[in-house]
Amino acid sequence: MVKAPRMALTSGTKLGPYEIIAPLGAGGMGEVYRARDSRLDREVAIKVLPSYLSQNPDLRSRFEREAKAISGLQHPDICVLYDVGRQDGVDFLVMEYLEGETLHARLARKPMTPDETLRIGIEVADALDKAHRSGIVHRDLKPGNVMLTRGGAKLMDFGLAKLQAFAAGAQSGTPAFSAVATSQHRPCRPGGRHQGSSR
C-alpha cells in the first residue's frame, strides 16, 4: 500500500491574504490546499509548487509571465487561475475551488455511459478550442487534469507538469507553461462556436 504524502502546510497558515483551511491532495507537481481569500471572502484552491521552481529565478520569472496569459482564459470549462504568489520562499498558484471528482477517479469507479462520454468530450474540446484561439496549448491533457463538477467538466493545469523538464535544463526561451503561439489567423470551424459565444 502506498503511503499518502505528508502535507507541509497546516490549517491556519497564511500565504498573503489566503488562509489555509485543509489539504486536498499532493503529487509530483506540488500540494493542493483548500483556502479562504480574506479580501474577497471566498474559497479558493492553493497549489504550492515544488521547491525547484523557487531555486531557479529565470524559471520563476517565465512562470509568472505565462501565468498572466493563462489567467485571461475565461471559459465555463476552464478552471480559473486567480493569482500567483510567493511568500517566504514558497511559490503558489491561487485557483478556482472546484467541488467534484477528477475524470480519472470517475473512470475508476465505473464505465461511463455514451451520453456522459459525449458530453464530457464536447466540454473538454470546447475548452481546448478556447485556449488554442488564445494562443495557448495545454500539453498535459489527461483524466487527472479534468475535474467533473455539478456544472460540467473543468480543464485544469495547463502544461504545469512541463516545468519539470525546464528545471532539468531546458533552453531559457521555453515558456514555463508550455504555452505555444498558434496561428495568427483563427477562422471559426464550420458549425463551430465563435470564441465569445455562450453555451
Q: Give phi and psi for 6, each to the nearest 5.
A: -80, 130
Q: Which of 141, 175, 20 is nearest to 92 (CA)?
A: 20
Residue with cell 526561451: 173
Largest alpha-carbon pair distance within the chain? 51
In the chain, where does DSSP find H-type helix?
51-54, 57-71, 103-109, 114-133, 163-167
Instruction: Please say whether the beta carbons of 18 and 37 come within 8 A.
Output: yes
Single out the catalytic residue among 58, 83, 88, 140. 140
- For this structure, is 140 an active site residue? yes
User: Which residues have a catalytic role annotated?
Assistant: 140
